[in-house]
Amino acid sequence: MLSDFLRMIKGFVLFIGPSAAGKTSILRRLVTGKFHDQDPTLGFSQEIIAKVRVIEIGGQASLKEYWKVALDQKPVKIFFVIDITNKSDYLEFHDFLNENAELNPDLLETTTLITNKIDLIETPPTHLNEENFFIKSSAKTGEGMLDILEILANLEGQTNSLEQDKSVKRVSEEHPNNQTDAKKAESLLEEFQGKF
């Protein structure tokens, strides 16, 4: 079960955000150096980037309960990815901060907002000027990827890679309302397993 997996791991970076914001595309760009147009993650995925374990949890409503489970494990860094062209994503980011600040007092210090799909607009929205730290990115063009990699590289040693934790097995949680999504998630996990 995904919740059991999340409770077993320590020292990881968490990638979360609304569905279709581009989390998986960013991770694939960081790993391969190329843009891959992706369907939304229907579960979770895991990557090792710059020797740092990165856990991505999809943004569908049925998966958001797992965000809290992951937050309970005190990730060393949280990247909250939004689609910059979708103002409701920005509002969801603020809701996330407000709802979870009590659970994780270091939330503001450990969270970086990634405004993805910057290539689709000419001028960033003015409401982003309120944020202390955010990265403008485009998984498609590569903008902002070096900034993300630099942060990840600076976290090396604070996280456990898969090589350090052989006891962790890949798991996915089946969602009773969508068996097909669970099968797709399992297929995605098998695809990643060959890399590690």
pLDDT in tens, 166-190: 333 333 333 333 334 444 444 444 4
Whether residue 44 contacts residue 62, with contact meaning beta carbons closer than 8 Å, is answered with: no
d(CA 182, CA 63): 11
Residues 6+ apart with CB under 8 A from 89: 17, 18, 21, 82, 83
pTM for this prediction = 0.76
Structure tokens at 122: 């000419």
Show the domains of the chain with their CATH numbers. Answer: 2-193 (3.40.50.300)
The predicted-structure confidence for 32-59, as pLDDT tens digits, reads as follows 888 877 766 666 777 878 788 899 999 9
